[in-house]
Amino acid sequence: MNLDRLEENIGYRFKDRQLLIEALTHASYANEHRDMHLKDNERLEFLGDTIVNAALTIRLFRLLKDASEGSLTKLRAGLVSKDTLARIARTINLGDFMMVGRGEELDNGRDKSSLLSCTYEALIGALFLDSSFDKAMSIVERHFDIAIGDLERVEVSDYKSTLLEYCQKRYKGLPDIVLIDEYGPEHDKVFVIEVRLDGRAMGRGEGRNKKMAAQMACREALLALEKDE
């Protein structure tokens, strides 16, 4: 495994490579290789989830000086979603380096959003332990900028209304906003919504309710349409 290449993709070189290896080790792999006495990445994932949330909270707090607590909470929840973290993981080719068990390997586990997002959080947890919060925050910010666009341009707004108005003016028609999946227990469901324009998927978002998921999907669609111009 060429960890040098992964570190180049991340933009950080680990002082303690064992932390990096732990971050890449899924429980399924550790269970199948007990003789290697490997630690799985679940504890690092727990830590990394907090670091990612804290980094985005600080960034949004500084950027959006007039936004309410409710608006900031909703925007952060949309940004720190499984879908977004998996997209970041794909930009650094994290799936190529994940250590997964045979079952996950056969089930295309290296490209599962759930595994990718969890491994990314573990990676950030390991990076934090290997350096500092400030360093981890700067890496998280850079990854988000690369994957979803410059966070300096993030605004708390009604993305759905903006998208509908844009499509009506430019394409003389409206996109389809479709619920494509929902998962999790009844008391803590996550909804997945996709925006389609002329049958083409333009954006996808997740949220604790359908409205939040639709807003994030519409935001992603607007970014995609902007790139097409």
- Residues known to be catalytic: 49, 121
Let me know: does 146 contact 159? Beta carbons within 8 Å. Answer: no
DSSP state of 186: G
Angle at 172 between CA 171 and CA 173, to 5 degrees: 90
Let me know: does 95 contact 116? Beta carbons within 8 Å. Answer: yes
Q: What is the 3-state secondary structure (H, E, C) of 115-178?
A: HHHHHHHHHHHHHHHHCCHHHHHHHHHHHHHHHHCCHHHCCCCCHHHHHHHHHHHHHCCCCEEE
Q: How far apart are CA 200 and CA 197, in angstroms?
A: 5
Residues in Cβ contact with 229 at an 8 Å cutoff, skipping those fewer than 6 apart = none
Question: If DSSP codes are grouped into helix, strand and coil, which group holds residue 5?
Answer: helix
Q: Which helix (H) or strand (E) holds 88?
A: helix 82-91
Q: What are phi and psi of 26, to 5 degrees?
A: -75, 150
Let me know: does 51 contact 124? Beta carbons within 8 Å. Answer: yes
